[in-house]
Amino acid sequence: MKIEYRTDGVQGAPLLVLANSLGTTFDMWQPQMTALTRHYNVLRYNQRGHGRTPLPAGELSMDVLAQDVIALLDHLNVDKADFCGISMGGLTGLWLARYHPTRFRKMVVANTAARIGEAGNWHQRAQQVRKAGLSEVAAGSSTRWFTSNYIREHHPQVSRMVMQLSHASPQGYAACCDVLANTDLHAELAHIGLPLLAIAGDADAITTVADAETLRQSVPQAQLAVLHASHLSNITCPQAFNDAVLDFLQQ
């Protein structure tokens, strides 16, 4: 198994898969672990080009990112799981809900959209990172991820995440930027039949409340929860995030 992963929680309990965002690792889910591991066997993994998960030999695509999750389920002999992904991880979840619905019970997608950003911007960022590394992208990441109040009140934690991004793989980050540029699921949303919760942050300028509202309106069994947060809502307001996820999964 080439995908870096770990499991925590109740062995034999239902499996809950957590998928990280662009430029982070599965450590980003630490604020959820105490709450979620009371009820689930929690699988965290690093997407391609993140942590110790290598890029594939061929071209990276959203289908490859999704197939990695299916490979993990097969590796762990799990027929069905619940899923929670944020940002790029949420887009991975939408793809899985559309093309692999029989492997999942319920789907939580946070701070994401059927298309995240503009293709040209992602390709430009990929080119920049391949040429100059991640220092400049990392320097601006805190204001994309968090509100100014959160940055001021949690400066050490924010600084750690920024430093982690600055030392990440430029090639891995750039490859995922290209995946985001090439992925648009607007035409597929109406075909998603799984129960789905979209979580949005009211201060998120990357994937807006309007993006999440599109998911709610387009996916037949979708619900919407809006939290007081920017892009990484699971870190900004972990209690509200955990409550929303558990309330939905345990309905």
DSSP secondary structure string, 38-84? TT-EEEEEPPTTSTTPPPPSS---HHHHHHHHHHHHHHTT-S-EEEE
Q: Given a cut of 80, is residue 142 above it in pLDDT?
A: yes
Q: What is the mean pLDDT of residues 135-161?
A: 95
Q: What is the mean pLDDT of residues 28-37?
A: 98
Backbone angles phi, psi at 42, to 5 degrees: -95, 125
Identity of the residue numbered 28: M
Task: Provide Rg for the chain, Cα atoms.
Answer: 17
**pLDDT tens-place string over residues 182-217:** 999 999 999 999 999 999 999 999 999 999 999 999
Q: What angle do CA 146, 123, 170 make, to 5 degrees?
A: 65
The whole-number pLDDT of residue 168 equals 97
Q: What is the mean pLDDT of residues 142-156?
A: 95
Q: Given a cut of 80, is residue 235 above it in pLDDT?
A: yes
Q: CA-CA distance, 91 to 66, in Å (whole number)?
A: 9
Q: What angle do CA 134, 139, 142 make, to 5 degrees?
A: 120
Q: Given a cut of 90, is residue 1 above it in pLDDT?
A: no
Cα 47 to the chain's mean position, in Å? 9
The whole-number pLDDT of residue 124 equals 97
Q: CA-CA distance, 192 to 218, in Å (whole number)?
A: 9
Confidence bin at 34 (pLDDT 50/70/90):
very high
Q: What angle do CA 33, 89, 219 make, to 5 degrees?
A: 110
The whole-number pLDDT of residue 78 equals 97
